[in-house]
Structure 1
Amino acid sequence: MTATHHPPDLFALSDVRGPVLRPGDDGYDAEVAAFNLAARHAPDVVVGATGTADVVTAMRWAAATGTPVAVQATGHGANFPLDGGLLINTARMTDVRIDVGARTATVGAGVKWRLLLEASVPHGLAALNGSSTDTGVVGHVLGGGLPLLGRAYGFASDLVRSFQVVTPDGTLHETDADHEPDLFWALRGGKGNVGVVTSLVTELVPLSRVVGGGIHCAGEHAEPLLRAYADWAPTVPAEMCTGFTLLRLPPLPIVPEPLRGRFLARIAVAWTGEAAEAEGLLAPLRAAAPVEFDTVADMDYRQVDDIYQDPREPIPARECCALLRELTPEAVDTLLGQAGPEAGRDYPLLMVELRHMGGRLADPARVEDAVCARDAAYLLESVGVLAGPEAAVAVEAATAALYAAMAPHGTGRTMVNLHGTPGDADDRARAWTPETHHRLRTLKSTYDPQNLLRHGHTVPLG
């Protein structure tokens, strides 16, 4: 499709049904706001897309004017601010259609997992969301998607059947395993390097309830709990999906009781089997250290936000992650030395977490994709709150020290969705194997030769 050339003004966006706003316009600040308050976007123009046609129009304008493009739905993935260019906000694109017989969902670019679960769970069907259902389906899947139930069902991208995507020349594509397979490959784990997804079709899993919650101990007992967890995790079935977390929570109203103002060590649990079997499996963890409170119980799958209790209000945050190949006694010693009780209650990272991987996450994709985390045993993730310049310096120093110390136990890679603020090209490349990164660069050059999609965690042209 040949783009029509227009002068670099907004008249070519007159067909957009949603708002088209410049700095200073009413509604501009709300339109560009991200969940991560550390990223304050300042695009030259923002398009509030109401559907696929608006995205096509916006991308054609960007291609004609050479304007760089960024995309935002929920703003959870905002890791550094956009300065200039065009921001396409897809938050209004919230159509959800459930095909109960086929066990699939068709979801728009702005759909949050919460909305999808509200539509699917009453039919006995669940989606492969992450630890928070406030995040967007499309952004999660584009990064591969590490689900809450990943050990039981695999990566979220494994269940995607097709995408509707607008490439940077303004062309609308329908892609699946048989139609433009290279494009389909890049959209499952390659993030937003080749186009703007307007909708996708994903399989759903037959599930409406889980055993979930958290086993919480005082932070002073982190060592015996983590050592027990490191011994226990490799022995459990794939249906047991867990994480170990060190939490240093501020005494603020946004933190729910009884977590508020506490330093805690927690085992988060999501189990897809029978409740009685879960009791036996979890017994060694409950015996490892004095339990302060235990919320593990049978629950409707729509309640899964109660398991990890991720922040539900926007905060200024610095996140980071690394994939680990092992959790040896030496790795446990290192983690505790960095972030355990001896680091003190003033340690600046709000959360340091290990997510148990393996299980179905280690299986090869049914259709080849760009996910490069199947060889990891654990994911190490951290979040620090940037509550001012001094706090930002402390968070950055603690983050750097933690990942440098844990590097000998890592695969050398990260997951793109949790990577945090992407640095130079070498840093961004750590989300993929060299072979996958090279292929992404080649496809980037094919579908985005102007490098319009260069904001966020992107690859350079090949």
Structure 2
Amino acid sequence: MTPHPRTDAPWGDQAATSKLAGSVRGPVLAAGDDGYDEERVRYQTFRPHAPALVVGAVDDEDVRLAVEFAAAHGLPVGVQATGHSPALPARTGVLISTRRMNEVRIDPASRTARVGAGVTWQQVVTAAARHGLAPLSGSAPHVGAVAYTLGGGLGLLARRFGYAADHVRQISAVTVDGRLREIDADHEPELFWALRGGRDNFGIVTGMDVGLVPVERLYGGALYFDGSLAEEVMNAWLDWTTGVPEEMTSSLALVPLPDLPSLPPPLRGRYVVHVRIAFLGEAGEGERLVAPLRALGPRLADTVRILPYTESGTIHNDPVPPAGYSGTNAMLSGLDADAVRRVLSLTGPDAPVTSIVEVRQLGGAMGRAPEPANSVGNRNAAYLLAVLNRVTPETADTVQTAHTRLTDTLAPLTTGRSLNFLYGAHATPDQVAMAYSPDDYRRLQRLKAVWDPANLLRHNHNIPPADAPR
């Protein structure tokens, strides 16, 4: 492939823009146009994308034409559906909005879902449930299925079934040469390996086939404890995770809840410990497994029960309204009592910046390479610790400094980063590189040099081509 000239200059070729607008079915919008802000500002409202042009794609051909246009003019390209895991914001170039590409098709015989680039997990969950099936969706049903999966996809059933990326069977993607390619283990296998874990660095995905699992219900929900028990509950939960089966996927969050009428009175305005439970097994066995956690102290709320998978989003109860936020993460070999104290001192109610912190147990099927293999890294990690804060222009630098201080103190236990939990200014190429082993990262860079040598696909969690500076 011949590299196109690279430019970050503002775009001002109205004739070329008009020609593109006359070719695609969806809208082509520039700053000041009606609908421009609606397309570029999705879930993340802090420092959102502000590209020269937004193409609201409605089908594969719109994506192909948008990529072909950008490549012909040497313009960088980004893609966005729901905007839950943004990297550094685009300030020029072309942003392809895929939210209109929201078709879901279920094949119950092969236990497969075909999901368009703009589909949310809730759509897949609802459609699959009609056939007694479930996708390997995450904690928030309103997250886009494709970007989540391409970044790995650490879901509610992950310890039993692995990462969502491990269950991708076929991908349709437009590469920077303007071709729509059908990619699987037999057709462009190296590209198939790279996309499943490398997100949108190698092509703009328009749809994919993902495997479903025969799950209709689970034993799950939440245990809420007062924040005064944070250290005790966190240490007990960490000890408890060492003995649970792979059918148990759980996490623990330290959350400063706002004083809002929408929250139940026992939780309103409190700093809480939120233990999240998702168990694939009999209710009686689930009760037995959860009993030691319930015995830790009085619960502010206890919602753990048998629930249909269609209600699995209530386990984490992630907020739905768009917000401005910043966050990062560390994948860890372990956590001990000393590390727990340091985490609480740096993020708890008495810290200069009180943060939302979540620790997810990994291992199980996530620790085993799938067949065919993919580029999802850090499979040897035992836990993922993620930190998140709401931010404004006035607080962003202070919050980022606090997050960096936390990841620095966890460095001796850190095996790497998780791509899907690197947000905004934290999503630098150096941090992205930590999502992979050194050998896999070099392989990804070599593939990037083949498929996108000019790094036009760079408004993302960017992997520069081999020999390009990071």
The TM-score with structure 1 as length reference comes to 0.95
- What is the Cα deviation at residue 2 of structure 1? 10
- The aligned residue for residue 376 of structure 1 is 381
- The aligned residue for residue 409 of structure 1 is 413
- The aligned residue for residue 243 of structure 1 is 251
- The aligned residue for residue 455 of structure 1 is 459
- The aligned residue for residue 219 of structure 1 is 227
User: For residues 116 and 261 of structure 2, what CA distance do their matches in structure 1 show?
Assistant: 33
User: For residues 174 and 87 of structure 1, what CA distance do their matches in structure 2 show?
Assistant: 22
- The aligned residue for residue 355 of structure 1 is 360
Distance change in 2, residues 1:322/1:47 (3 Å): same
- What is the Cα deviation at residue 213 of structure 1? 1.0
Q: Deviations over 1:170-201 (max 9, x none)?
A: 11111101110001001110111100000100
Match of 2:399 among 387, 395, 398: 395
- What is the Cα deviation at residue 250 of structure 1? 1.6
- What is the Cα deviation at residue 335 of structure 1? 2.1
Deviates more, 1:76-85 or 1:48-57: 76-85
- The aligned residue for residue 208 of structure 1 is 216
- Kindly provide the amino acid, as one letter, of the partner of residue 321 in structure 1: N
Q: Is the 8 A contact 2:417 2:435 kept in 1?
A: yes
Distance change in 2, residues 1:18/1:223 (3 Å): same
- Kindly provide the amino acid, as one letter, of the partner of residue 408 in structure 2: A
- What is the Cα deviation at residue 13 of structure 1? 4.1
1:418 aligned to 2:428? no
- The aligned residue for residue 342 of structure 2 is 334
- Kindly provide the amino acid, as one letter, of the partner of residue 445 in structure 1: A
Q: Is the 8 A contact 1:3 1:60 kept in 2?
A: no
Matches within 5 A, 1:43-442: 43-253=51-261, 258-340=266-348, 343=350, 347-349=353-355, 351-387=356-392, 389=394, 391-411=395-415, 413-421=416-424, 422=426, 424-442=428-446
- Kindly provide the amino acid, as one letter, of the partner of residue 370 in structure 2: A
User: For residues 335 and 414 of structure 1, what CA distance do their matches in structure 2 show?
Assistant: 17
Q: Identity of paired residues, percent?
A: 43
Deviates more, 1:106-115 or 1:365-374: 365-374
User: Structure 1: 5+ residue runs without aligned partners?
Assistant: none
- Kindly provide the amino acid, as one letter, of the partner of residue 437 in structure 2: T
- The aligned residue for residue 8 of structure 2 is none
The TM-score with structure 2 as length reference comes to 0.93
Q: Is the 8 A contact 1:191 1:458 kept in 2?
A: no
Q: Is the 8 A contact 2:88 2:428 kept in 1?
A: no
- What is the Cα deviation at residue 227 of structure 1? 1.4
Distance change in 2, residues 1:392/1:63 (3 Å): closer
User: Structure 2: 5+ residue runs without aligned partners?
Assistant: 6-12
- Kindly provide the amino acid, as one letter, of the partner of residue 391 in structure 2: L
Q: Deviations over 1:342-375 (max 9, x none)?
A: x36x7431x1010000111111111111010211
User: For residues 199 and 138 of structure 2, what CA distance do their matches in structure 1 show?
Assistant: 16
User: For residues 4 and 449 of structure 1, what CA distance do their matches in structure 2 show?
Assistant: 8
Q: Deviations over 1:191-248 (max 9, x none)?
A: 1110000010011000011111111110001111111111110100001110011010
- What is the Cα deviation at residue 333 of structure 1? 2.7
Secondary structure at 1:163 match in 2: strand
Secondary structure at 1:205 match in 2: coil
Q: Is the 8 A contact 1:128 1:148 kept in 2?
A: yes
Distance change in 2, residues 1:254/1:189 (3 Å): farther
- Kindly provide the amino acid, as one letter, of the partner of residue 447 in structure 1: W
Q: Deviations over 1:276-315 (max 9, x none)?
A: 1111101111112222211111111111111011111001
Distance change in 2, residues 1:359/1:23 (3 Å): same
Q: Is the 8 A contact 1:354 1:380 kept in 2?
A: yes
User: For residues 251 and 394 of structure 1, what CA distance do their matches in structure 2 show?
Assistant: 23
Distance change in 2, residues 1:215/1:387 (3 Å): same
- Kindly provide the amino acid, as one letter, of the partner of residue 22 in structure 2: S
User: For residues 266 and 34 of structure 2, what CA distance do their matches in structure 1 show?
Assistant: 40
User: For residues 380 and 241 of structure 1, what CA distance do their matches in structure 2 show?
Assistant: 15
- Kindly provide the amino acid, as one letter, of the partner of residue 352 in structure 1: V
User: For residues 265 and 101 of structure 2, what CA distance do their matches in structure 1 show?
Assistant: 35
Cα RMSD, aligned residues only: 2.0
- Kindly provide the amino acid, as one letter, of the partner of residue 348 in structure 1: T
1:29 aligned to 2:34? no
- Kindly provide the amino acid, as one letter, of the partner of residue 213 in structure 1: G
- Kindly provide the amino acid, as one letter, of the partner of residue 457 in structure 2: L
User: For residues 255 and 38 of structure 1, what CA distance do their matches in structure 2 show?
Assistant: 24
- What is the Cα deviation at residue 460 of structure 1? 1.0
- What is the Cα deviation at residue 257 of structure 1? 5.3
- What is the Cα deviation at residue 428 of structure 1? 2.4
Secondary structure at 1:354 match in 2: strand
User: For residues 436 and 3 of structure 1, what CA distance do their matches in structure 2 show?
Assistant: 23
- Kindly provide the amino acid, as one letter, of the partner of residue 127 in structure 1: P
User: For residues 90 and 265 of structure 2, what CA distance do their matches in structure 1 show?
Assistant: 36
Q: Is the 8 A contact 1:348 1:395 kept in 2?
A: no
- The aligned residue for residue 445 of structure 1 is 449
User: For residues 228 and 461 of structure 1, what CA distance do their matches in structure 2 show?
Assistant: 45
Distance change in 2, residues 1:326/1:2 (3 Å): closer
User: For residues 74 and 433 of structure 1, what CA distance do their matches in structure 2 show?
Assistant: 29
User: For residues 282 and 339 of structure 1, what CA distance do their matches in structure 2 show?
Assistant: 27
User: For residues 410 and 253 of structure 1, what CA distance do their matches in structure 2 show?
Assistant: 39
- What is the Cα deviation at residue 383 of structure 1? 0.9
User: For residues 120 and 169 of structure 1, what CA distance do their matches in structure 2 show?
Assistant: 35
User: For residues 353 and 142 of structure 1, what CA distance do their matches in structure 2 show?
Assistant: 22
